[in-house]
């Protein structure tokens, strides 16, 4: 074996088989790390989770895209079956290139609509999730800040 790098992980982690949540979020590098580390782990306290990062988050599933929708159903099914998460969290973000909606209010409304549609759809298709929560991350370029808002 020719080890090129080693790192430590939290004690006991590698022996665990179940996680707390499945996360769906956009691939966008500007939001991804803050969303997974600060918001999901830090604020929501979901330390163990399966992140499913897909361009546009839930957009391809809601639109029943012929490539994205089957992939997302498959990935969600694997996470649900293997790791038995009780919660599903979906986080969309402002200025998302997958949506490419120039007007911020129109973009927010579209995200909110898709998140509500996704919540209903996934609650029917994946009954093992006891809770499905949806959020929008609003980025403020000038303040270098992201605010998270829950969509209910
Ligand atoms: Zn995006």
| Distance from residue 44's CA to the centre of ligand 1 (Å) | 21
What does the pLDDT read at residue 86? 98
Tokens read off for 124: 């029917």
Q: How many domains are contained in the chain?
A: 1
The DSSP secondary-structure symbol of 1 reads -
What does the pLDDT read at residue 1? 85
CATH no. for residue 102? 3.30.1330.140
Residue 50 lies in a domain: yes
Residue 4 lies in a domain: no
| Distance from residue 93's CA to the centre of ligand 1 (Å) | 6
The series of mean pLDDT values per 10 residues for the chain, 152 residues long, is 95 95 98 97 97 98 97 98 98 98 97 97 96 98 97 94
Residue 3 lies in a domain: no
Alpha-carbon gap, residue 91 to 32, rounded angstroms: 10
Residue 6 lies in a domain: no
Range of the structural domain that residue 46 is part of: 18-151
| Residue of 1, 55, 34 whose CA lies nearest to 146 | 34
Per-position DSSP letters for 79-135, written without gaps between them: HHHHH--SEEEEEEETT-TTT--SSHHHHHHHHHHHHHHHHHHHHHH-TT-SEEEEE
| Distance from residue 29's CA to the centre of ligand 1 (Å) | 9
């Amino acid at each position: 074996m020719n080890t090129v790098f080693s790192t430590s992980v939290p004690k006991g982690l590698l022996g665990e088989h179940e996680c707390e949540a499945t996360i769906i979020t956009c691939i966008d590098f500007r939001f991804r790390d803050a969303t997974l580390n600060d918001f999901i782990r830090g604020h929501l306290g979901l330390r163990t989770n399966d992140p499913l990062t897909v361009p546009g988050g839930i957009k391809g599933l809601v639109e029943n895209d012929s490539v994205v929708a089957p992939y997302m159903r498959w990935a969600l099914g694997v996470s649900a079956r293997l790791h038995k998460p009780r919660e599903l969290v979906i986080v969309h973000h402002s200025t998302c290139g997958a949506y490419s909606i120039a007007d911020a209010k129109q973009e927010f409304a579209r995200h909110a609509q898709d998140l509500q549609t996704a919540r209903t759809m996934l609650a029917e298709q994946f009954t093992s999730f006891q809770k499905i929560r949806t959020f929008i991350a609003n980025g403020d370029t000038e303040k270098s800040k992201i605010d998270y808002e829950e969509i209910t």
